[in-house]
Chains A and B, each alone.
Chain A
């Protein structure tokens, strides 16, 4: 055996060894019957996962054998179908049509979200740019982040009737408290994220801008906003989830229509399949509202993948 073939053999075993280690390390899939790194595998496993979940649910429901505690998936989906068809069971007091509750929830979410974006982004921007007061603003921001905003809801609701004359807004009077709740739940998330984004804009960018004689106006438009945009948008995405949460909490606690109210109305007559169906609708809206912007963000801000996108959101 000459030296050359020996060397080649050594090289080959080296590569094999490395491959072996890599396989073991990265996915630990030595005995797998399918290559897990393909799209097909992912699709198959997602389907299997859905079926498996359904099977577990069915099994658990059969074992518990009490439709109040846990209805079977089939009866839940049947209830969902009937709910969408507006066939609401007797006894569910004051539950409106499916469209009306869906529309109300979406309306409150949308208005709460737009209002808090309109207020939150400028405020967050201003306090983020105000470097002189950083030491004071920071603790307040941290405190705001920590405070559970839901605790403010009773204050807002029971106070808002006499605090703000409804006629001032001339907007469907009974939705105003709900919108306020959604707003208060959302606005701080947006303020905090805008603030952090603006504050973390690298100093060197701003200084270069200043060195080339940019005015504050130009600095805002061409340096700070573009650099902070991914964080602002990430904050808005989180805010969207919060706005929905706020809308549903408001409806559950205060309103007499909407998905939040409906969910609890079905609970109070112990009609769990319908309740689960309502929860499914809410879950679907939540999923769409949170996941769609994430996809858009991935496309738009490839150049600055924020920690939050990688983590899958921090709300």
Chain B
């Protein structure tokens, strides 16, 4: 009974939970009563006003968002451009699979942050470094998922195509790529989540570029309300990108709702 009520008024209830969340936050902040430990919703709102009204802060904020988004996108696009072909080759050619697979597994297990100091030596404390980190982190989850997808393309799809004399190129574009699309999309979704996290980690270590740098810097100066405001911004960006990928996923892979997709 209660389930149906909640499901019917889904969005009002969701809105209600957000209000409850903010209220709890407000109460906790009041109890803690220490702006350096936890800034309340009111001072966070003030921080937003500050962020847009103060021109120097506003400019910093805008350039930070630009550089963060650019790092995420370019790194991700690069990872897609390299990860998908590599994954397909690994899935199709056993030799490539055997040669590349050990390294993919090892590199995939490395915690993202381990790339950061290496990249710092290559490109310094710049958004290009953040870009490289986001690429390095996203590319492996894309390769692994594309590889799994291509490897699991059913032989009952490939064999008839060959029997009917399909050209090599058409075999890839018309059979293998479409059949492994669900897995490719899973890889892309995981890739963007990881890319975002990698960029934020890198920027926090650099602490001079991007939103991550700004978050760390403001926290360092104990301007906690600004920090929370920026954390909310990056969270919203992240949620938006995730929903975008989910939407693309449902658009591209409209025929199949695999369990992997449901799990997200």
Chain A interface (Cβ < 8 Å from any Cβ of B): 21-22, 24-29, 32, 36-37, 41-42, 45-46, 48-50, 52-53, 68-69, 131-136, 139-140, 142-143, 145-155, 157-163, 196, 200, 241, 244-245, 248-249, 252-253, 260, 263-264, 266-267, 270, 272, 275-276, 279, 282-283, 286-287, 289-291, 307-308, 310-314
Contacts and interface: CB of A to CB of B under 8 A. Distances in A.
A58 B5 CA distance: 65
Given A49-B102, A151-B200, A154-B219, A135 B6 contact: yes
Given A49-B100, A50-B102, A134-B3, A253 B204 contact: yes
Nearest to A287: B109
21 contacts: A28-B94, A36-B95, A49-B98, A69-B121, A132-B6, A142-B242, A143-B235, A146-B235, A150-B197, A154-B227, A155-B224, A158-B227, A241-B111, A248-B114, A249-B113, A282-B114, A287-B105, A307-B258, A310-B148, A314-B141, A314-B186
B65 interface: no
A253 B121 contact: no
Interface of B: 2-3, 6-7, 10, 13-14, 17, 32, 34, 36-38, 92-95, 98-103, 105-114, 116-118, 120-122, 141, 144-145, 148, 155, 158-159, 162-163, 183, 186, 190, 193, 196-197, 200-201, 204-205, 212, 215-216, 218-220, 222, 224, 227-228, 231, 234-235, 238-239, 241-243, 258-260, 262-264
DSSP class of B's interface residues: helix, strand, loop or mixed? helix
A275 B117 contact: yes
Given A249-B201, A276-B118, A289-B109, 4 more contacts: A145-B193, A286-B110, A310-B148, A314-B186
A152 B242 CA distance: 18
A136 B13 contact: yes
A158 B13 contact: no
A151 B239 contact: no
B186 A311 contact: yes
Instruction: Give 9 nearest A-B pairs by CB, closest first.
Output: A154-B219, A45-B98, A267-B117, A146-B242, A245-B111, A286-B109, A162-B37, A132-B3, A307-B260
B102 A46 contact: yes
Contacts of A286: 109-111, 114
Nearest to B1: A132
A286 B32 CA distance: 37
A264 B202 CA distance: 12
A36 B98 contact: yes
Contacts of B102: 46, 49-50
A159 B36 contact: yes
B114 A312 contact: no
B158 A25 contact: yes
A49 B186 contact: no
Contacts of A252: 113, 116, 205
Contact of B114 (A45, A145, A270, A283): A283
B222 A260 contact: no
Given A147-B238, A248-B111, A311-B148, A162 B2 contact: no
B263 A308 contact: yes
Given A134-B7, A264-B117, A264-B205, A147 B94 contact: no
B196 A159 contact: no
Contacts of A28: 92-94
B121 A159 contact: no
B200 A41 contact: no
A140 B200 contact: no
A21 B239 contact: no
Contacts of A24: 162
B211 to A, nearest CB: 8
A55 to B, nearest CB: 12
A252 B212 CA distance: 14
A157 B108 contact: no
Contact of B148 (A22, A154, A244, A312): A312
Nearest to B230: A151
A283 B112 contact: no
Contacts of B120: 267
B34 A162 contact: yes
A207 to B, nearest CB: 15
A283 B148 contact: no
Contacts of A152: 231
A311 B216 contact: no
Contacts of A27: 93-94
Nearest to B258: A307
Contacts of B106: 283, 287
A37 B234 CA distance: 47
B14 A136 contact: yes
A151 B234 CA distance: 8
Contacts of A263: 114, 117
A189 to B, nearest CB: 11
Contacts of A146: 193, 235, 238-239, 241-243
B95 A154 contact: no
B219 A145 contact: no
Nearest to A152: B231
A155 B39 CA distance: 10
